[in-house]
Amino acid sequence: MADVAVETSGLRKTYVSSSGVTEAVAGLTLQVPKGELFGLLGPNGAGKSTTIGMLTTRIVPTDGVARVAGADVVRDPIAVKRRIGVVAQYNNLDRQLTVLENLEFRGRYAGLPAKEARRRALELLERFSLGSRAGARVTEMSGGQAQRVMIARALIHRPDVLFLDEPTSGLDPQTRVNLWDILDGIRAAGQTVVLSTHYMEEAERLCDRIAIVDHGAVLACGPLPELKASAALETVLTLTYDEDPEKIVEQARRLGGVRGAEVSDTRLRVLTQAPEGILADLVRLSQEAGLTLTDVRVVRPSLETVFLTLTGREYRE
Ligand SMILES: Nc1ncnc2c1ncn2[C@@H]1O[C@H](COP(=O)(O)OP(=O)(O)OP(=O)(O)O)[C@@H](O)[C@H]1O
């Protein structure tokens, strides 16, 4: 399948330790066509890093198959490594080297002739607005700059697939937005990209398709508009009280236009397609029951409501 950049079938990783058995990835099946920016979205511990680890040959799967750029990650890891670029979750630049040297060395390691490695390194630094920092030590870089250097380094040998594990984790909001622009540019140039993220907003902003993962399994996969359409397009109203609102949950469920209502602790969560009218009804019900509202949250149909509908749990970044 020449047009498929990444495909997995029943991919699994089980860790066994003294504290028990963890199914970090529990039978993952997905396909990423060439040229796509594909996102693995899930909360901490969902199995994203383990998945990226297996696709980049750092972690050996317990079971299942994965092919990246046409090569099998278990049978032919060397071919896979040659065809991919990887941006790790943490800064793993060589601190002994300058920015330019970090790129050049990686280029040479990937088999580029010295002149070509330098030309390509300078071109990438220019492209990522780091031209003036070529001679700087990596220890002098800010978090955002270091991330850009790591991306440039991962692209030096023109990989078929670029992997990024939580690329904007820990960056301030402005730096995150700058990095999104860079990733947009990389995608526009036709590069296949697979990234993991626990930021809904990031997946929503960047990805052609998203796999929502939790407990090592894909809950849903597709373009965001499709995911939104497949989960009912409900708005989620969350009303918080100073006590348990159990006494009004049945009445809330019976309101016309309410698709579901449930209580957790002091919160009442209501799914509806007619949020404005229902909110007024809920406020009235609360007053009649003598309940004091302390907070009201309205989440319109989004990736967040898709997650809520699929898992029944609120998404915690
Ligand atoms: N080497 C290991 N040994 C035992 N358990 C592990 C190991 N690596 C990961 N796990 C467990 O596997 C599960 C998935 O972890 P993973 O790091 O893949 O999740 P993640 O979605 O990338 O989360 P994070 O954003 O926190 O990195 C977690 O429960 C984690 O504790």
**pLDDT for 279:** 94
Hey, which of 11, 12, 15 would you mutate to test ligand 1's pocket, going by the most ligand atoms within 8 Å of its Cβ?
15
Q: Looking at residues 17-39, what average pLDDT do you find? A: 94
Give the number of the atom of ligand 1 that is nearest the alpha carbon of residue 169: 25
Residue 42: CB within 6 Å of ligand 1?
Answer: yes
Tokens matching residue 125: 């630094």
Q: Mean pLDDT for the chain?
A: 92
- The confidence band for 315, taking pLDDT boundaries of 50, 70 and 90, is low
Question: CB of 251 within 8 A of CB of 263?
Answer: no
Task: Quote the DSSP letter at residue 292.
Answer: P
**pLDDT for 81:** 95
Helix, strand counts (H, E) of the chain: 11, 14
- The confidence band for 2, taking pLDDT boundaries of 50, 70 and 90, is low
What the chain holds in terms of domains, given with CATH numbers, is: 4-93+141-224 (3.40.50.300), 234-300 (3.30.70.2470)
Question: CB of 40 within 8 A of CB of 211?
Answer: yes
The pLDDT tens digits for 98-125 are 999 999 999 999 999 999 999 999 999 9
Q: 85 — phi, psi (to 5°)? A: -120, 140
Residue 311: CB within 6 Å of ligand 1?
Answer: no
Tell me the ipTM for this assembly.
Answer: 0.94
Question: CB of 266 within 8 A of CB of 240?
Answer: yes
Residue 55: CB within 6 Å of ligand 1?
Answer: no
Residue located nearest, by CA, to atom 17 of ligand 1: 49
Residue 178: CB within 6 Å of ligand 1?
Answer: no
CA of 123 to the centre of ligand 1 (A): 36
pLDDT surpasses 70 at 225: yes
Question: CB of 274 within 8 A of CB of 257?
Answer: yes
Give the number of the atom of ligand 1 that is nearest the alpha carbon of residue 47: 18
Residue closest to 92 by CA, chosen among 150, 32, 43, 18 = 150
The pLDDT tens digits for 231-258 are 666 788 999 999 999 999 999 999 988 9
The helix (H) or strand (E) run that includes residue 215 is none
**pLDDT for 189:** 93
Residue closest to 146 by CA, chosen among 201, 202, 97, 83 = 97
- The confidence band for 73, taking pLDDT boundaries of 50, 70 and 90, is very high
Residue located nearest, by CA, to atom 7 of ligand 1: 15
pLDDT surpasses 80 at 198: yes
Which comes out higher in pLDDT, residue 204 or 121? Answer: 121
Give the number of the atom of ligand 1 that is nearest the alpha carbon of residue 23: 12
pLDDT surpasses 70 at 205: yes
Tokens 């396909």 map to which residue? 31
Residue 24: CB within 6 Å of ligand 1?
Answer: yes
Question: CB of 178 within 8 A of CB of 211?
Answer: no
Question: CB of 217 within 8 A of CB of 30?
Answer: no
Task: Report d(CA 259, CA 274) in Å as an integer.
Answer: 10
pLDDT surpasses 90 at 314: no
Hey, which of 11, 17, 21, 22 would you mutate to test ligand 1's pocket, going by the most ligand atoms within 8 Å of its Cβ?
22
Most distant CA pair in the chain: distance in Å? 78
Tokens matching residue 159: 């990989």
